[in-house]
Chain A
Amino acid sequence: MIEIRVHGRGGQGGVIASKILAYAFSIEGKSVQAFPEFGVERRGAPVTAFIRVSDKHINVRSKIYEPMHLIVLEPTLVTAIDITEGLKEGGFIIINTKRTPEEVHLKKTGSKIATVDATGIALKYRLGSSAAPIVNTAILGAFAKATGFVKIESIVTAIKKEVPIKPDENAKAAEEAFNSTIM
């Protein structure tokens, strides 16, 4: 079983990212769960979403407290909150930032860090507005590259199916992120 936590800010598409990623895994025959933090969301406030992936039917239906992997949509969250809370060692952390993995400093050091400039890519493809670019599809390309858990083709198919606005541009953003991930 793979357990992933997504960090973002309300309005960035973190919850949608969790659904697209779950859908991509389902294309490859996996059982999936994707869910938001159970509660009410506010634009701009830190939000989390969760994904479970398994080869077998997933019976567990409680929340995820100790994820193995993180996807971080918003670079400012790295210093604003402890994104590594409950994180297990040995997984991947995918961060949207212009920095290299060596330049990212986290409380815990037991994970492999990968970075990608998802904001720059989202701006290039005009996803969202220039003030609030939508980075959720780009970062999934980086997730596919860094982890190798899911094919980029499945991410692209899932984006084209699940994203109602600019599906082709979103798919290209994911591919570009896949090719520009720093590990």
Chain B
Amino acid sequence: MSTQKVLMGNHALSWGAVTSRVQVISAYPITPQTQVVELLSEMCTDGTLDAEFIKVESEHSAMAACIGASAAGARTFTATSAQGLALMHEMLHWAVGGRLPVVMGNINRAMAPPWTIWTEQTDSLSQRDTGWLQVYASSNQEVYDSVLMAYKIAENRKVSLPMMIVLDAFFLSHTSENVIMIDQNKADAYLPKYDPEFKLDVKNPHTFGGLTTPDWYMELRYNIQKGMDDSYQVIRDAQSEFKSVFGRDYGMVEEYKCEDADVILVGMATAASTGKESIDILRNKGVKAGLLRIRYFRPFPFEDVRRVLKNAKQILVLDRNLSPGLGGITFQEVKSAMYNEKNKPPIYGFIMGLGGRDITVESITNLFEHAKKNDPQDIIWMEVKK
């Protein structure tokens, strides 16, 4: 029988790292850091986890240490949040360019100033052009399972790119809930030891990321995009093997009552989980409503999004993030996904829940009410004090 724990999202990430047998963890232990690395540091001390814990002086250094360790062939992990992720920005590019499969947990917190610790996705979505794979979770089980799958995907030689597991502050990070633990033997069979094609080796010296002239830089960027292109299949394979071994089914997206839906809400993370209750309420009132939860933001699941949305009469996108001067970031991606489709349903871009403002079942049913009565707009602010 599988063991079950009641874990907060932060510790689901820590346990995911343990189950994945990470070898090097580097972290900066001060705010906005979370209990993720606190538990891991305790486990490294008491012997639960046989890994090297490198405490550093900043998030920039934390990622630099992960990059060094990964280049040397170690399975590496770190976690951060908001301003910490922003400080890593330069190093995020280095991990991608070095084709190093570092895995990181990011707790979605709004950006300061003003100083804040509550959830919003602008921190991780600001990093969308770095070349990291990004998966957004809506439960702690999904957080835990995603870590094991992340290494399987990121370390695949067809991909060789770093990956970020993203979870909402408080709504997952500090919420304790049922998590079915993975048997270590089965985890080891699912995720073998990291076996890089290239690594730093004193007996066979070479380097990563040396000066590259215009003769070859473009080809390296081409290869990064190819890694992303190939990752779709690698992700699907990792998910289907996960399902056959552990029984839990994950897709690039999650569809909820979309088959016959006229109005489909697109969202991410915990808001999309709460949204399922809203869909049930609307269905009981005779509204043909559905919900599409984007799990992978990079690579963006264009095919799934088109397949699910192409017969909808209205598309509602809920963004708990803001690109000032543009609007919601998911909205932008969904709109571009639909541009070449023959049937282009009207798309509404809703901004809601910034800085951790609660998104309730009623908040989400209100989006459907709004769309029933109004024409589509790119930026519709909901529940904002004006």
Contact of B177 with A34 in the complex, beta carbons under 8 Å? yes
Determine whether A61 belongs to the interface, using a CB cutoff of 8 Å to chain B.
yes
Contact partners of A33 in chain B: CB under 8 A: 175-177
Contact partners of B177 in chain A: CB under 8 A: 22, 31-34, 58
Give complex CA distance A61, B177 in Å. Answer: 11
Determine whether B6 belongs to the interface, using a CB cutoff of 8 Å to chain A.
yes
Contact of A59 with B274 in the complex, beta carbons under 8 Å? yes
Determine whether A40 belongs to the interface, using a CB cutoff of 8 Å to chain B.
yes
Determine whether A129 belongs to the interface, using a CB cutoff of 8 Å to chain B.
no
Determine whether B356 belongs to the interface, using a CB cutoff of 8 Å to chain A.
yes
Give complex CA distance A32, B359 in Å. Answer: 20
Determine whether A26 belongs to the interface, using a CB cutoff of 8 Å to chain B.
yes
User: Which bracket fits the contact residues of A?
Assistant: 20 to 34
Give the shortest distance, in Å, between B101 (CB) and chain A (any CB). 30
Give complex CA distance A61, B271 in Å. Answer: 7
Determine whether B118 belongs to the interface, using a CB cutoff of 8 Å to chain A.
yes
Determine whether B304 belongs to the interface, using a CB cutoff of 8 Å to chain A.
no
Give the shortest distance, in Å, between B146 (CB) and chain A (any CB). 17
Give complex CA distance A22, B350 in Å. Answer: 34
B176 contact from A35, A59, A62, Cβ within 8 A: A35
Contact of B178 with A26 in the complex, beta carbons under 8 Å? yes
Determine whether A9 belongs to the interface, using a CB cutoff of 8 Å to chain B.
no
Determine whether B270 belongs to the interface, using a CB cutoff of 8 Å to chain A.
yes
Contact of A61 with B175 in the complex, beta carbons under 8 Å? yes
Contact partners of B172 in chain A: CB under 8 A: 61
Give the shortest distance, in Å, between A116 (CB) and chain B (any CB). 24
Determine whether B174 belongs to the interface, using a CB cutoff of 8 Å to chain A.
yes
Residues 22-38 of A contacting B (Cβ, < 8 Å): 22-23, 26, 31-36, 38
Given A19-B6, A34-B6, A38-B118, A62 and B175 touching (CB < 8 A)?
no
Residues 16-33 of B contacting A (Cβ, < 8 Å): none
Contact partners of B359 in chain A: CB under 8 A: 62
Give complex CA distance A35, B176 in Å. Answer: 6
Contact partners of A59 in chain B: CB under 8 A: 273-274, 276-277
Q: Can you list, as one digit per residue, whether each of B98-142 has a CB less than 8 Å from chain A (1) or not (0)?
A: 000000000000000000011000000000000000000010000
21 A-B contacts (beta carbon < 8 Å): A18-B176, A19-B6, A23-B176, A26-B4, A32-B177, A33-B175, A35-B175, A35-B176, A38-B171, A38-B356, A39-B117, A58-B177, A60-B274, A60-B277, A61-B168, A61-B270, A61-B271, A62-B171, A62-B358, A62-B363, A63-B358
- Interface residues, chain A, CB within 8 Å of chain B? 18-19, 22-23, 26, 31-36, 38-40, 58-63
- With contacts A33-B176, A61-B171 known, what are 15 further pairs, Cβ within 8 A? A19-B6, A23-B6, A34-B177, A35-B175, A35-B176, A38-B118, A38-B169, A58-B177, A59-B273, A59-B276, A60-B361, A61-B138, A61-B175, A61-B274, A62-B274
